Structure formats: C-alpha cells, structure tokens
Structure 1
Amino acid sequence: MGPADRLQILFAHDEAILRINTRLRAEAESFEPARKQTPQLLLESPKSHLNSLHIPASEYKTAYEASLSDPAPPSPHDGTFCPITALSRFPYHHIRGELMQRVASKFFDKGQFWDRPWDLYYIHAPPRLGGRPLLVVPMALARKLLKEINLACDCSLSLPTEEERGLVLRFNRDGFPQPTLLGQSSDRTTKDSLEATIPQSCTYNQSLWDQETYLAFEKMMEAAASSAKSKSKSKAKKQRLRFRREIEAGDAIRRAQCYLGLRADPTDIIDCKWDEQSAPESEPPQLASDKPAPYPFMSEPIFISLDVEVNERCHTLVTEVGISTFDTRDLIGIAPGPLGENWQSRIQSRHLRVQEHAHHVNSLYVRGCPNNFEFGTSEWVAADKVSAMVQNSFAHPTFFDGPDSQLRPLVLVGHSLASDIQYLELANVPIINASDGGSQFSDRFDTAKSWMIICGKTETQSLGAVLGELGMTGWNLHNAGNDARYTMQILVAMLVKHSLDSQ
C-alpha cells in the first residue's frame, strides 16, 4: 500500500483534505474528475487542481498568476510561524514614541508591508475559538523584515517571544497540527485572493488528542487570534477602569469626611445639626480650624494605619510593622487646628521590630532606619508572635462598646494600601478572613490615591512627596512606625484642608 492509498483511508471522511495537492505523483499523470466513487488525493499541478474542482478559473486567476509565473519554492521554516495580520500592525501595537512613526512611515503606512514576498500558510482555529482560519508566515520571513527595519532605522527591534503575546507560534511540538501552505504573494490583492481559497473549517476530533496537548494548542491559537485585534477596546477598558477607581476614591474621601464630622452623614441627615429640608434658608454649618467639627462623627470609627517593612532581597521576611490608631471619640469638642494639628496629636503609635531579623537594615533601594522611631519606644517581638501582636492591636478594650461589647467600626488606612496588605499576609496577618471571606475592617482608605484625586494628578506620589506638598516634615522615613504615623497625619491634614478649600 502506497502513501496515497494510506492517506485515502485516513481521510476518506474529509473531501477537502483529499483534494489537497500532495505532489506524490508525477505532474504528467492526469486526474479524471468524472470518476465520482471516493474522492482521490490531488497529485497534480495547481492548474489541473483547479479544473478538477470545477471552480471558475476567474475566481482564482489573480491568486495563482504569481505562482504560475514564478515557480520559486517556499522558504524553509523551522516550525515557528507568525500571524501575518498581527505582524502587519507591529509598530502600532509594540513601538512607542518617535521610533514608531519612523518605522511605520518607511515599512507599513502605505502598504509597503504587503508589497514584499510572503509565503502564506493557514491553520484553522479550534471550534471553541470559532474555527476560522489563521493566516501565518514562517518566522524566518518575519525576522528578515525586522532585520531590514533595524538596519534602516538604526534600532534593535524584535518580536516578543512570550506565548501569551501570540506573535511567535511554535508548531514544532509533538501532537500539534501543522499549518498548510497556501501560496506566495507579493501584494495585498494576491494575499486576499489566496485567502479566499482556504477551504471550510476542518473539525478537530478531541478524542484523538492528548488533552494536555490540545489545551496547549488551543491556548496558543487563542493568543494568536487576539494578537491582531485592535487595542482601542483595551484602552477603553483601561480608561473605564481608571474612571471607576477615581469614583471609588472620591467616595472614600467623602465617607472619611463624614467619619471626622467634616461632612453631614448622608444616611441620617435629620440627626445632623443642619437639615436642608427643615431650614432651606439657613446656611449649612461651616468648618473652622479653631472650632470643633460641625457635624457628628458618622459611626464613630477607629482609624488604624499600618506600614510594613520587609527584607529588600526577600519580601517574605517582615522586619518591622508600624501601627497607629486614631479614635474619633477622642476628637469630641476638640478644634482640629491648622491642618488638623490638634487632632494629629491624638494619634497613638507603635513600632514592632522582629527579633530574628534585627541585623538586617535595607540599603539597596531605600535607606532603612529601624533604630530611629520618632514617636515612642520600639517593641521587640518574635517572628512567630508578630501576627498575634498586630491582631491584638485591632482589639484594644476601648474599641468595644455597648452592653454586648460589640467591636466598633475599624477603618484601615495605608499609603499605597494594596502593598501593605500583601506584606501583612506574608506576616500571617490576614485582613480578609479566610473563613467567611469578610474583613474585620468596615472600610479602607488609601492616602496615596486620595491625594492624587484631591490634587487632580494622574499618578500617585510617595509618602515623603505628599508630606512636602502639605507643608509637613517627615523624619526618618522607611521606618515602619514613622511611616504609619505620617500616613495617619496625612489622612487628617488632607481631609481638613480639602474640607476648608471646598467651602
């Protein structure tokens, strides 16, 4: 049994595959289309192939003129390919600045990309991805283009090789289906005509695949399909996400103002000193730095700011924890003072140092100063006791209220809070309860994001930069105890200043 007979048995159910010209027979042999028994493998030249399918030659004239007039064989490949559509948009998606314009003008903007020889291959996507054919070219041709670009523009561009980027497709893996040669093109019209000749989607029989191999192939094809998509949707999504975060940060600022009596509680306005409905002609109470807060403290919460310092070479080793608490009940009848200085004096601060890591002082990226706590005396604690110490600070006796000793609302404060939460989890101090997915904190407040919104900036700033813009001085930053204290002071100062400015 010869190769053609074996292929006939294997693919008898798929006429499209049987009509592929495998060139197993000599071109001199003629194919007889009148024989209708079982579809035979096409083994002739492209011209006789068209006749055998009874497809009007006019539909394929343009597509095959180049290959008939230029019989050059396709370039060799090593099993790696690149999606040609994604490659045609390479500078717009992967280069920035002035270089992008230079590359695009010289090689892409006016269709120059298509006016070069391309060996076109195709492969169908898995059914879950729609089954549409993906047009690919050998990686050698993509590298050749980039080499020309690098020489012409004096740069060093290369294709990103990460599989999730979808630009380098490695089909040279066991069990992966292989792209099928479609033809050669040297202009956009020929490429489009050749693409129109791709047969209908083939059906992947997953039962014949190793599951791991099939999933790997599907993942690669999904990345390839998305690599050519316009990035405008992604930018719009990022913009919507940014807007949502700004709205959330603005809401957090208003809630914090209510907690400190700087704004009326919107959920219980009748109990406030000023009721818009009952006194429409009167002015709302005004905040003054020399008078107590004009409104009741909504929920009377306790603010707790945390800062964590870790070994700069191993972030799983927590070296310091700073804790500052700020009880709104301590502010009753107290005027805030300029920038809330009178309120700031009511902050209670602690500095915990881990005994096992006492010898380590950060110096590579920041200048650590664990010995210079400015607001009290540092406390030594064993590494296995850090979690209990921090948790106990959340349960001070004065934080409970009522006959049932219910814990009063706790508000977590931090500067770039997400990183502090991550480091706390490394120290086995969970902010989110694993049992019910809830948090022991009723609210959170990120001073970095809030200051960015208040000032109308586009990026967050460091703790030291915010202190400077508020006219405050911070000593020995990157000491966890000091940073936690300054974070709480920033909270008070920015809210008082913002409330006064808003009036």
Structure 2
Amino acid sequence: MFVLVSTIRGWGNTDLFSRAIQHVLRPYFEGDEFYNRKWDLYHYETSVRDFFLLPIDQAQEFLKDLSEQTGITKGLLDPPNKLAFFISPEAAQEEPKLIGSVSSKEEFNKLVAAHSWSDEVIADRKKKEKVKKARKKKEKQSLAMMGYNSSVRTARQHLGLGMKACAMKEAAGEGVSEDRPRPVLVAIDVEAWEQDHNQITEIGIATLDTALIPSAAELPALSLADMDMANIDYDNPAPKTRASVINELIKCRHLRIHENRSLRNGIYVSDAADKFDFGESEWVSLGDVPAILGESLRFFDENGNKRNVIIVGHDVKQDLAYLRITGYDVWNIKDLEVMDTTAMYKAVNDVHESRGLGRVLTDMGVIFWNLHNAGNDAAYTLQAFVCLADRGLPPYSHQPASPVAVPAEDEIPPATLPEPKEGEYPDYEDLVESGCISYIDPAKNQLGPRPKSGKKGGRARANRDGFEPPQEPKRTVTAQQIAEVEDGWGTSKPVEDDVW
C-alpha cells in the first residue's frame, strides 16, 4: 500500500486537528525535518497524470515517531486506509515504480524533477483521454439505442402494426403473424405523498387487451408517421389514425387509499387526486391493494390458460418500487415483461435524453389534462405507448451505422441546453416541482433561483482544492410571467407536463 506525498505532507493541516495542534504539527510536515529520514520514492502513472508515492508503512512509522515527540495521538495513529492511495485497475501501470531512496529535500526535489511530466505531456494525455471517453460514450449510446429500437419493434408486434418498425416503409400489419401471442398491456402509475414517499395515496391501472385490436386491414390507413407532428391543428377534430382507434380500447381504474385520504399534495406536486377524467375513482383500503393488483394483472383466455401480461410505464422503475410499499411485488409474476415509454421515445426521436410524460404526449399530438392523477397518468402512459409504436422508428434507423469520427478536444463544442421550441411552455407547477425555481416571498411576487445541492461536503471539498464551483445565474419570475406561463396555450393546446 502507498500514500501520496502530497497527502502525507498535508496531513497536519486536516480538520482532524484543532488550529492549535495544526500550529504544532506544521513544522514537522512542511519543514526540512520531513525529508531528514529515509523515504523510498515511487512514481505512478495513469492515462492523464502522474503521482509520487511513499510506502504507507514508512508513512505510519513517521506518524508514530511524530506522536511520540509531540504527545499527540488522535489523528496520527489512525488506520492506514485513511492515508492509502487507490490504484485504478484501468491505469497504464499495474504497480508504482521505485525511482530511488531519498533522505534530504535536495535529493527529493532532484528525483521529482527528473521524473515529473511536463505541462505539454499532461495536456496531450488529457486531450487523448477526452477523445477516448467521447468514443466510449458514443459506443455506449449506440448500444443503448439498439435496445431502444428493439422496444419499438416489440411494441409494434404486440399491436399488430408491422414488423419493419418503420411505418413509412411498410403496409399496415406487414410481416405480422395472425397466430402471434396477444398479451394484455397494463400501465401502472403510483402517486405518493410529496412529504413522505412511503405514504401511497393513489394507484392508476390502465389495461389494453391486444386480442381486441382489429386486424391491420380494419384499422385506418393513416398512421402518426404520415402526419406532420410539428404542425398539428388542435382547433379542428383530429383525423382517425391507427393509434387513436386502438387507444379507444383502453380501460382505466383510479384507486385512492382510504387510510391516506387526508394526505394531499400541492406544495411540490400539483394536487389532481380529485380530477380523474376516465371514470369514477374508487376508495380502497391499503390492506386490499395487493389483492386488487393481483387481480388486475391476472388474465385468462377462453380455454382457461393464463395470458401473458406486459407492464408498461413511463420511467417504470419508480412506480414498481412504489408498489412494493403496498406489499405487492410484480416481479413474482412468471414470465413478466416490462416496457418503458421513455426508451421508446428515445428510439422514435433518435435522442438519448429522457422526457417527461407531458412532453411525450405533446410530441405525439395527444391532448391531455390533469397529470399527476394516477389514473390519468396510467391512461396517458398507455396512450403514449400506442402512439409511439404507431409512429415507428425514423427511416434512417435501419441504415447501417457508419463509423463515427470523434472530434479532437479543441473541436468539441461546449455543451448547451436545448432551446425550447416555439409555442412550448413549461407548466409553472412543474417548474417548482423540478426544482428549477422556488417560491420565496408572495409579497414580492417573484421566484428565486434553484436551491443549492444538499450533498454534504461539495463546497468544502471545492474550497480545499483551491477552486470555487461556478454559480448559477440568478433568475426571477414576476407574477405577470407566471400568469403567461399558466395561460400560455389557452384552451386549444394541453399544458406541457415537463421541463426541457
């Protein structure tokens, strides 16, 4: 085991010691006395920088001698793991290289000067490492996109829309077998109390029986891939598409937990518990929820055989985790398949960034109301699933991928946030919910900047390293701007549910 020279030399200034003790220890660590003993000096290289190390047993012996001289024990006789230097398994060298033994400051400086990297070498290695990381990131994204594309193909197979997964290149139902399995799609959304996520307040369950979907010949010829989604006319009735016909078959339930009926959101998340738009809400006991969920996920055919069930969700991991709080674990279902509309959205739009449910619905031309109601969210999630499948993959996703040229460091443009498209307005409540803005003082009619991160030690570590993290520009929003955001689309368009 080894320790960094800089670590052991700065050990006397750590916050383990009071200022008075630091004053006592400083000459032993920073003065010549530190070098007036035998040290075995090692040199260690990674892909981007080099280090000078000392054996940790020699460092421990130095601290022990120092403790005997000063009578200070706390902080000097700690376990070695507080000093140890971690050697990355991806480093260029497997072990540090011994470059010599020193017993004076002059010998130490001479060895360091002979083996230290120049600034040009460090800059060149960092540039190569940056290019290497960019290439790895691109490869990782390409592999991930293959999985996203596969989810769209699977969805189209289940709905009988065509196996090429590119609606603009195929006839409806092309390549789909009539003898294919016809599973039941179930979308589940869970709402929890914003002040305690262990308190479940609502559960939404939407189902779509694919056996009831008409054949491709009976569905409308128009698909979402044939429409200009950027210029949808919301003032006139929408034309019938394959997706709109299939979405009419969705059935939805909204369960509200009786024991938590007094727990209402509204501070960080909009309170839409009373605004279920697809039927009547049902009050149920928390103890009955596992049985209700089990019944909602159990289907049989005319011969009494159990049918396959596919769980559909938008960022579904979170909802499945919430279900465990109710006492029901969906992973106990045999041959369970889970599909996520966030992955499908990435494939359909050829992007790697996730989007909120409201953004997905808007891009698919679905008019929606009262999100954050579990029943509505479940219904809209299943509608988004059908629309994304009907839209299909972009035509160029079927072309063989050409080698990607990764630019050099000086050619890589700085990362920028995407500008919102014209006509898109974030919902004020979702801005607050996401943490982008926070309400300061109603009397001042303004909103403050995003709160600082709650992670411990971030600023302290930055200050100790000698740099200050960049500060976000302050942003304020007046009451008039809030009203414009809330009324932005009027009644002709749905209000966006997420923030860019």
TM-score by length of 1: 0.51
Which residue is equivalent to 2:300?
400
Q: Equivalences for 1:91-490 in 2 at 5 Å?
A: 122-123=54-55, 172-174=77-79, 184=105, 190-191=111-112, 240-264=139-163, 286-287=171-172, 296=178, 298-333=180-215, 334-335=218-219, 337-338=240-241, 340-395=243-298, 399-401=299-301, 403=303, 405-433=304-332, 439-440=333-334, 442-490=336-384
Give the Å deviation of 1:121.
5.8
Whole-angstrom distance in 2 between the partners of 1:306 and 1:347: 13
Whole-angstrom distance in 2 between the partners of 1:301 and 1:71: 75
What is the SS of the residue equivalent to 1:400? coil
CA contact (8 A) 2:188 2:205 kept: yes
CA contact (8 A) 2:258 2:285 kept: yes
CA contact (8 A) 1:411 1:441 kept: no
Which gives a bigger RCO, structure 1 or 2 (Cα 8 Å, sep 6+)?
A: 2
Give the Å deviation of 1:363.
2.1
Q: Among the aligned pairs, what percent are the same residue?
A: 25
Whole-angstrom distance in 1 between the partners of 2:31 and 2:80: 31
- AA at the equivalent of 1:473: I
TM-score by length of 2: 0.51
Give the Å deviation of 1:263.
2.0
- AA at the equivalent of 1:73: E
Q: Equivalences for 1:9-28 in 2 at 5 Å?
A: none
Whole-angstrom distance in 2 between the partners of 1:481 and 1:440: 26
Cα distance 1:285–1:378, how it changes in 2: closer, same or farther (>3 A)? same
Give the Å deviation of 1:235.
7.0
Whole-angstrom distance in 2 between the partners of 1:175 and 1:134: 9
What is the SS of the residue equivalent to 1:360? coil
What is the SS of the residue equivalent to 2:32? coil
Which residue is equivalent to 1:270?
none
Give the Å deviation of 1:431.
1.6
Give the aligned length.
299
What is the SS of the residue equivalent to 1:307? strand
Q: Which runs of 5+ in 1 are unaligned?
A: 1-69, 77-82, 93-107, 115-119, 126-132, 139-169, 196-229, 267-283, 434-438
- AA at the equivalent of 1:316: N
Cα distance 1:320–1:84, how it changes in 2: closer, same or farther (>3 A)? farther
Cα distance 1:176–1:300, how it changes in 2: closer, same or farther (>3 A)? closer
C-alpha distance after superposition, 1:292-340 (max 9, x if no partner): 9975373011100010111122211111110000001111345154151
Cα distance 1:190–1:263, how it changes in 2: closer, same or farther (>3 A)? same
Cα distance 1:482–1:191, how it changes in 2: closer, same or farther (>3 A)? same
CA contact (8 A) 1:309 1:321 kept: yes
Whole-angstrom distance in 2 between the partners of 1:257 and 1:287: 10
C-alpha distance after superposition, 1:28-57 (max 9, x if no partner): xxxxxxxxxxxxxxxxxxxxxxxxxxxxxx
